[in-house]
Chains A and B, each alone.
Chain A
Amino acid sequence: MKNHVEARNIVKRFGPTTALDGAGIAIAEGETHALVGRNGAGKSTLVSILTGLQRPDEGEVRFAGEAAPALGDRDAWRRRVACVYQKSTIIPALTVAENLFLNRQTTGRLINWRALRSRARELLETYEVDVDAAALAGDLGVEQRQLVEIARALSFGARFIILDEPTARLDGPAIERLFTRMRALREQGVTMMYISHHLDEVYEICQSVTVFRDARHVTTRPVEGLPHDELVAAMTGEATAAYETRPRTAGERVVLGASALTLAGRYREIDLSVRSGEVVGLAGSASSGKVSLAETLVGLRRADSGTVTIQGTPVKPGDVPAALRAGLGFVPEDRHHEGFVPLLSVGENATLPIAHRLGRFGTVSAARRRAEAVRMIEDLDIKTEGPDQPVGDLSGGNAQKVVFARALADDPAALVVINPTAGVDVKAKQALLGAVEDAVERGAGAVLVSDELDDLRICDRVLVMFHGRVVKDVPRGWTDHELVAVMEGIQE
């Protein structure tokens, strides 16, 4: 089989960092080829080179044996390669139709908006995307936005598509729908490059896999018959055992409780009690209300009715500081938005909630903060130049560890963790789950909300939500199939 796409000996430097160091990839025509590697391995950099957004310092890209077009010739690139980038390229303030035809709204001089909308409708129909062409793109959900990106990418007629971590922000059913679509494309002979941290997805839809580590190409193998550990070992450079969940027995004391919580349109009549020494999972599809419920527990949202108690005392609804004072620690869903202040240092971010303990009369002792921060960096194995590095410079997994450090700084009695491992690589994921279990062993009670079944394995029991209600309390020992069936509302 001939190589449809080939990148050879690519070197790309950003100032002092070498993002790619003689790395390459060869993708055969018609296959779905996975590219995996830890955060910062250089995957997205390769994507920007393969799509002509950046010029490699060295090396060459070839499509079907021919040299790649000149960098300025965007249209030529787009006829060869389509891409759904890791960072969304949808412009929220513009309509779906205009996003689909960005910078090619018309071939003539004047834009005919009506014609543009009908072309957009046709395009959406062709790719079976059920979205209103006249809607503002900013009003779409994550999945729909992504579908719009896919439709746009395909509309240039490229026979090669790159998907950079498309599933990081999708829930289970949406991922399934994406895969159905990808399989259909493959049947039409489309070649794909697929980037994901979820190795099970790689096994599910890819035929070959290339591993990058520290800016270099490590191996390229057929997926079939490739043992899981070997793949993980290639990514991390060492043998890494699969995560072992730990057994434990829950205490008696209820550290976090909810009674009759209701928030219109999100969830109804939720009762919950989390005991010390227990991890309770919350699972469900995107519309199940699990994230809203967790956000209510920590005070980011205010319920219409019902109460939240932390260590037996009711907390004022919708008041995060009150919840924190009552002994709560939490990891929010969107770490970039609510999790950390990117320009502040690792040390400052991690010690924000305990700043009051680090000095007197409103001052913060720099030396004590440093000491605390150094301890946290060690505890959670945060890869950083030191406590003074801004968190904004860290890779996804390490930034998330800082958010964890902050949540755990005050030794919380109750811990609420929302989608902690989204966009985080294998090893960092294990460290984060380990941190939750450590905290619980120290006597905390935890609520873990996750779209990832693997994360939920550390839970002593999983509450499955469906359309705003808890429909089942599943004890340890479930299989993926069982849990998904309940999440989808297919009760036995």
Chain B
Amino acid sequence: MTALTASTPRLRLARFRDLTLVPVIVLLLIAGAFLDPTFLTAGNLTNVLQQQAAISLLVLAEALILISGKFDLSLESIVGMAPAIAVMLVVPVSAGGFGIELPGLLVIPLCLLVGALIGAFNGFLIIKFQLSAFIVTLAMLIIVHGLQLGPTEGKTLFELPESILYLGSALWLGLPASIWIAGLLFAAGIAGLAYFRVGRSLYAIGGNSDAARAAGIRVDRVLWGVFILGGTLAALAGVLETGRLGAIGSNQGVGWIFMVFAAAVIGGVSMDGGKGTVLGALTGVLVIGLVQNLLTLKGVSGFWQPVVYGGIILIALMISRVAGGKAQD
């Protein structure tokens, strides 16, 4: 009986655990307003959101994968490779293409398909072949990036079909389309994980996969779906980033994965699976985006910024440790 009475206060806190970063965001907004007058303007905040749109899709994907108790490092390589391959299938040889010259409208579907296929291959090795997710996706991180460098010979693709540039650069109702897209996908993620059985099954699988199996959840199928979805979201992130920058460089997406994990984890998503929410992950992205923006506005050297990010991650972890009350491993 003692355990029961003790549980009530903890529960209240636990319910708000994925919102522990909200005060941090408020604090950042206030501090930012004082530090720089341009910070709290609509233009600047839109800018922050647009810059974070692509990486936030990776965070969404990684959050889903982590909640299911798995791991994917290869997402960042898909961000560059999927659009690069899709573009090369479409553009003529003179623009760096393969010479297949498929219709230009197909470039986005092709890009998403490439991402989905990579996710499916990861899933095959991890679920059917039962290899370690960490090592498989580490290898895939290297291979997929190589599959971009090889065909492009490390060159930047400049001549892109119109259709791939549209999403990353268009304005819808006065806001960049990429913000709408990321916002809608996050809303879908939040609702999906809170109100649908498949969404809940990710928590069950990440929390105790044997129990999930006993409850009739098709664990392998769901996990495979999550990897495919993750790859597709990473490819979409690639489309948005390509549109924003207007070209595909050989290191598009390179190095993102650290920020992705940082955002997910400070947002309360557990590396052990079964814990965390998409909303929490979103707050993680926002914190990192705001800090990045502040540092740039204040003219902090890009060389010093990593130290600050690292510090932020540690501080956020400590805050959620105190709020969550449980030791993290």
Q: Which residues of A contact B (CB under 8 A)?
A: 51, 53, 74-75, 78, 83, 85, 87-94, 98, 102-106, 109-111, 130-132, 134-136, 139-141, 144, 287
Contact = CB atoms under 8 A, between A and B. Distances in A.
B3 A102 contact: no
Contacts of A91: 203-204, 207-208, 211-212, 274
Contacts of B14: 136
B182 to A, nearest CB: 23
Given A89-B211, A91-B274, A94-B203, A103 B11 contact: no
Given A103-B217, A132-B8, A111 B3 contact: no
B134 to A, nearest CB: 16
B128 interface: no
Looking at B3, B212, B275, the one whose CB has the most chain A CB atoms below 10 A away is B3
A53 B214 contact: yes
A132 B6 CA distance: 11
Interface string B198-222: 0011011001101111111100000
A298 B196 CA distance: 48
Contacts of B303: none
B215 A136 contact: no
Tell me if B's interface is mostly helix, strand, loop or mixed.
Answer: helix
Contacts of A111: 194-197, 200
A78 B215 CA distance: 9
B2 interface: yes
Nearest to B216: A74
B4 interface: yes
A131 B4 CA distance: 7
A371 to B, nearest CB: 35
Interface of B: 1-4, 6-8, 10-11, 14, 194-197, 200-201, 203-204, 207-208, 210-217, 274-275
14 contacts: A53-B213, A53-B214, A88-B208, A91-B203, A91-B274, A93-B203, A98-B200, A103-B215, A111-B200, A131-B4, A132-B4, A136-B14, A139-B6, A139-B11
Contacts of A87: 210
A-B residue pairs, 3 tightest by C-beta:
A74-B216, A141-B3, A89-B211
B324 to A, nearest CB: 11
Contacts of B194: 111
A90 B11 contact: no
Nearest to B273: A93
A110 B195 contact: yes
B197 A103 contact: yes
A105 B200 contact: yes
A139 B208 CA distance: 16
B208 to A, nearest CB: 5
A78 B216 CA distance: 9
Contacts of A102: 204, 211-212, 215, 217
A240 B216 CA distance: 43
Contact of A139 (B3, B197, B211): B3
B3 A140 contact: yes
Contacts of A130: 1, 4
